[in-house]
Structure 1
Amino acid sequence: MPPRLDYYTASPEALRGMLLLEASLSSMSLEKPLLELVKVRASQLNHCAFCADMHSTDARLAGVAERHLHALAVWRESPFFSRRERAALAWTEAMTLLAQSHAPDEVYGELSAAFSEREQVDLTMAISAINCWNRLAVGFRKQPQA
């Protein structure tokens, strides 16, 4: 699919806001490998090839094992993920598929058992940001380099 437009040049002001949000997320309370897993999983759910490719690379650079990345799409069936990772991935799916999930109490219970209140907000902001990036990339057909 050919790209539709370059959203960075089409609206630098809008992208400046996104980049400021992204910069604030980098100093959050959460560990980088976990954040990258969350970004890859949300990108998979949103069918965002560009972001899935970019964040898979970033995850490897952050120390995420190849096995984790290969099993991410089937994390519920995989033994490779910690309780904290599972809670974050379940919350990622609930927030990304919000219209279907309605943020169930059971998923929130798992989240609150594994994350402090600050971490819960930081994680939710990170999930919100990657969902926004996914919508930009999918909507305007941004593609990873072949």
Structure 2
Amino acid sequence: MKTDRIDISKVKPSAYQPLFDLHNDCKKSTLTDLEFLLIEIRASQINSCAYCIQMHVKEAIEKGEKQYRIHALPVWRDTPFFTSEEQIILAMTEEITLISNNGLPEILYKKAINTFGEEKVADIIMAICGINSWNRIGVATLLIPSPSQE
């Protein structure tokens, strides 16, 4: 399936670089690889970005994430598969991705600070902001996933 939408990476490559820098910074942050990927997958699901879902699910499986956990992400609150720390990260991902609904509720923010400390909370917020930017590019330009998506 081909679209006639622009390829921003070609039209405006300099605009992509700060997003790559943020992504790379987040990968070197206090987040584990799997925590970072849970953020990327869950935000991408909420934003209906098929391209990012495909890419990050593939990477998560390659890094050892269990498929049953990936499949359960949309209903994570109703499963026993995620640690209390992951539940905080997933809740933050949902609230920040849908920021116009409730903002980041104070009770969740305080729980995150008490659990992770300021540096990791900053890393979580920045990772969520980063993937939301990528999702918006993917959805706006109709990026198409491929089965191999390397």
Instruction: Find the counterpart in structure 1 of residue 68 from structure 2.
Output: 67
Counterpart-to-counterpart distance in 2, 1:100 and 1:85? 22
Counterpart-to-counterpart distance in 1, 2:77 and 2:114? 18
Deviations 1:48-79 (A, max 9, x none): 00001111111112221111101001000011
Unaligned runs of 5+ in 2: none
Amino acid at match of 1:130: I
**How much has 1:109 moved relative to structure 2?**
2.8
Report percent identity of matched pairs: 35
Superposed, 1:84-123 pairs within 5 Å as 84-123=85-124
**How much has 1:110 moved relative to structure 2?**
2.7
Counterpart-to-counterpart distance in 1, 2:74 and 2:132? 17
Counterpart-to-counterpart distance in 2, 1:49 and 1:101? 25
Counterpart-to-counterpart distance in 2, 1:106 and 1:10? 43
Counterpart-to-counterpart distance in 2, 1:79 and 1:133? 30
Q: Does 1:77 align with 2:72?
A: no
Superposed, 1:8-47 pairs within 5 Å as 8-47=9-48
**How much has 1:7 moved relative to structure 2?**
1.3
Answer yes or no: is the 8 Å Cα contact 2:45–2:53 preserved in 1. Answer: yes
How many residue pairs align between the two structures?
146
What is the TM-score when the length of structure 1 is the normalising length?
Answer: 0.95
Unaligned runs of 5+ in 1: none
Amino acid at match of 1:22: H
Instruction: Find the counterpart in structure 1 of residue 51 from structure 2.
Output: 50
What is the TM-score when the length of structure 2 is the normalising length?
Answer: 0.93
Q: Does 1:129 align with 2:122?
A: no
RMSD across aligned positions (CA): 1.2
Deviations 1:65-108 (A, max 9, x none): 11110100100001100000000000000100000022111221
More moved, 60-69 vs 105-114: 105-114
Counterpart-to-counterpart distance in 1, 2:56 and 2:94? 16
Amino acid at match of 1:134: N
**How much has 1:111 moved relative to structure 2?**
1.6
Amino acid at match of 2:78: E
